[in-house]
Structure 1
Amino acid sequence: MINAYMLTANGTLARIDWSSQEPLPDTVIWIDLQNPSADEETCVENALGVDIPTHEEMSEIEVSSRLYQEDNAYFLTAAVLSRADTGSPSLEPVTFVLIGHRLVTVRYSDPMPFRAFAAQVVRPGFGVVTGEGILAGLLDAITDRIADLLEATQRTLDGVAQEIFANRDATRVTGAIDYQDVLRRVGTSQVLVSRVRESLLTLSRLSAFLSRPGGQKTDKALARSFKTVARDVMALSDHALFLTSNINFMLDATLGMINIEQTGIIKIFSVAAVVFLPPTLIASVYGMNFSFMPELHWSFGYPFAIGLMILSAILPYVYFKHKGWL
């Protein structure tokens, strides 16, 4: 699908329907290729005189394959987070082709920043309506989305911490902690932060490529925008690294609490076994079928055996309570 945005007379952008049968208007500033077919790629290539990278070429991990220049065109590929709200986030390559003051984006996914930016760019007062401005705005929208995801992850981890380290009395009132759910949330946060760090790495390389000496010439306002994006990416990378260490701590704490709970359960069974061992021994002794037993014909033999079993159960219990083992 081809989404073309042209500059109108009042200085704003408007989306137009453009097909291969029509010449490309000179006022088109941004061409967004979403899941393009071979014919659509050929159409844009013929209109702009550049080779649009394929999905396989966009997915290559070499930096030289993701960031390069051909003649007056800059090809910048970044891994953008997609489907972050579904619990199964994925990284999808997005290529930005900057040709003079015109931008072409090639993507095979529908990340939220693109949807939000496409709705924002057609509003009056957007700002710089050039290819460089669109690129700066898209990068800013992507970093804003990553910042929101990291903040949401931080809130999730704060909730996990409160649940894990809650007061034991409060836990008894609200019920036992579902450690399986806790581990699931911690694992989901780890997957998300891992994807975010990979995306930030590609964005950091892209920002460095744009700001390198002899790179794309932009005015001072756009240069400041690119520098701001680079600083935001660096700050978000530090935050993601902090969250990674926090997630590892939460995972260790959760596993530790699970071990404590299991140890407590095993301790209860061990104490119960020790408490009932003496009464069982006494009952076994008096359950033997020997003909000559001193208490066999004694009228107080039965209550004596019962009392002895109760006493032998109480004494270990009192001893354990005195030692603080219960």
Structure 2
Amino acid sequence: MREAIAGGWGTLAAMIRAHAFRDGLLMEGELLLGDAERLLEDEHVFVWIDVEQPDDEEIDALGSIFGLHPVTIEDAHHLHQRPKVELFEGYAFVVVHPLEMGSKEGDDGLIDQELHAFVSSGYLATLRYGPGPFSLDLVTRRWRAQPELLASEGGGFAVYVLIDEVVDGYLSIIEAFEDRADDLEDDVFSVGAAEDSGIALQERIFLLKREVVRLRRFAAPLRQALDLLQEEPKLAGSPLAPYYRDVTEHVIRVTELADNIRDLLTSLLEVRVSQVANRSNEIMKKLSAWAGIILVPTLIAGIYGMNFEGMPELRWALGYPAALGTMVLSGGVLYVMFKRRGWL
């Protein structure tokens, strides 16, 4: 544990912070964890604790403060979990993955941060893992902008805002992916694309498709998770129903756009592979045509290069110019034939 004193954790380090809201209004100053535990007994107070890069002791301490089920504590110790909501007696365990666009395509195209949350009507504890850029400042700003909802709905409203900010990030990313997919479509069908047999365009399509699939893998489970969260009336009461419907619709939009973009990219990849195959066929046709043109002169030269004494043309005065003329004439005829058929 980063810092412990009798009666609870000491003054919070930069990686740990705790605040309380009384009747929806932020109370002055940060809290000690011992104070937070005491304030949980006040039904007019909502407590928020945020821990970045928590260690095992801190997770266990939170479990003790909030009376969490051992299964929840065990889950919180493990990373790389799929987005989900698990309901327990009096609280819910939530896993989401905030994402942000990176500076380049490929493996680093999406920056992922895993976030675990324990939420009840009177508290929200967030555990953030990874170096992701997701900030809770926007979340807390929205809490403070609607104190009446925070006061009446507590954790249900707080976790809604948290998930909504994550999903809004997904929307921004999927719209950027849609623009990139449109650009790729223009590139695939642009003049000269069919003549380019390089693999750079295929790589761009494949990398974008991989990022779209990755985004969908984080977004799709949230629909079921939100439905499950709304089954807990203490968290998602009727005043919050329109808000949860709205964020659910956003999740559906993200997954539908991801499906559409994935299908488009699959089609573009197939078209691009066909273009490259056709380009290869064109190259092979030209090589075959030139090989055919060279074949006749090579054949004539090979025959008369055998130097048999019984070959009458060897003593013919016009044999050499006749052989050259035959080579040129045959090559010219084949060139014209291949040119008319589009092989050259």
Q: Cα offset for 1:92?
A: 6.2
Task: Look up the match of 1:283.
Answer: 301
Matches of 2:285 and 2:260, distance apart in 1: 37
- Are residues 56 and 256 of structure 1, via their aligned partners in 2, closer, same or farther at CA, if it must alter by over 3 Å? farther
Distance 2:175 2:53 in 1: 30
| SS of aligned partner of 1:296 | helix
Farther off after superposition, 187-196 or 255-264: 187-196
Match of 1:193 in 2: 212
Q: Choose 256-265 or 44-53, whichever is displaced more.
A: 44-53
Query: Is 1:4 the counterpart of 2:18 in the alignment?
Result: yes
Aligned-pair CA distance for 1:277: 0.8
Which position in structure 1 is the counterpart of 2:175?
Answer: 151
Residues 81 and 189 from structure 1, CA distance in 2 versus in 1: closer, same or farther, beyond 3 angstroms? Answer: farther
Letter in 2 for 1:150: I
In 1, Cα distance between the equivalents of 2:207 and 2:329? 53
Give me the whole-angstrom Cα distance separating, in 1, the residues matched to 2:176 and 2:28. Answer: 33
Q: Is the 8 A contact 1:120 1:126 kept in 2?
A: no
In 2: Cα distance, 1:290 partner to 1:120 partner:
96
Structure 2 unpaired stretches of 5+:
1-14, 40-44
1:281 CA displacement: 0.9
Counterpart of 1:303 in structure 2: which amino acid?
P
Contact 1:12 1:124 in 2 (8 A): no
**What code does the residue aligned with 2:221 have?**
T
Gaps of at least 5 residues in structure 1 are none
1:256 maps to 274
* C-alpha displacement of 1:59: 5.4
Residue type at the aligned position of 1:67: E
Does the C-alpha gap of structure 1 residues 93 and 32 become closer, same or farther in structure 2, counting only changes over 3 Å? same
Per-residue CA distance 1:169-208 (angstroms, 9 max, x = gap): x877xxx3532x2222222222222222222222111210
Structure-2 separation of matches of 1:285 and 1:58: 77
Give, in angstroms, the shift of residue 134 of structure 1: 2.7
- Helix, strand or coil for the counterpart of 1:53? helix
Hey, what's the Cα distance between the residues in 2 that align with 1:236 and 1:3? 32
SS, match of residue 289 in structure 1: coil
Distance in 2 separating the partners of 1:233 and 1:242: 14
Going from structure 1 to structure 2, the CA distance change for 1:299 and 1:82 (only over 3 Å counts) comes to: same
1:62: Cα distance to partner? Answer: 11
Q: Is the Cα–Cα contact under 8 Å of residues 2 and 40 in structure 1 kept in the other structure? A: no
Query: Does 1:121 pair with 2:145?
Result: no
The percentage of aligned residue pairs carrying the same residue is: 24
Counting only pairs closer than 5 Å after superposition, residues 92-241 of structure 1 correspond to structure 2 as: 93-112=114-133, 114-115=134-135, 117-119=136-138, 121-122=140-141, 126-128=145-147, 129=150, 130-168=154-192, 176=196, 178-179=198-199, 181-212=200-231, 214=233, 216-218=235-237, 220=239, 222-241=240-259
RMSD between superposed Cα atoms in Å: 3.2
Residue 219 to residue 2, structure 1, CA distance change in 2 (3 Å): farther
Deviation at 1:81, TM superposition (A): 5.0
Q: 1:68 is matched with which residue? A: 87
1:106 CA displacement: 2.5
* 8 Å CA contact retained: 1:101, 1:132: no
The code of the aligned residue for 1:210 comes to L
Change (3 A) 1:5 1:19: closer
TM (normalized to structure 1)? 0.81
1:83 to partner: Cα distance: 6.5
Aligned-pair CA distance for 1:295: 3.6
| C-alpha deviation, 1:246, in angstroms | 1.3
What is the distance in 1 between the residues matched to 2:161 and 2:271?
41
Task: Give the structure-2-normalised TM-score.
Answer: 0.77
What is the CA distance between 1:278 and its match in structure 2?
0.8
Q: Distance in 2 between matches of 1:76 and 1:260?
A: 51
Aligned residue pairs, count:
312
Distance in 1, matches of 2:188 and 2:300, equals 44
Q: Which amino acid aligns with 2:68?
A: V
Which one of 9, 23, 35 corresponds to residue 35 of structure 2?
23
Cα pair distance change 1:95/1:195, threshold 3 Å: same
- CA–CA distance in 1 between the matches of 2:209 and 2:83? 25
1:8 to 1:301, Cα distance in 2 relative to 1, 3 A: farther
Superposed CA deviations along residues 204-236 of structure 1, whole A, max 9, x for unmatched, are: 11210122374624362x332111001111122
- Look up the SS of the partner of 1:75 in the other structure: strand
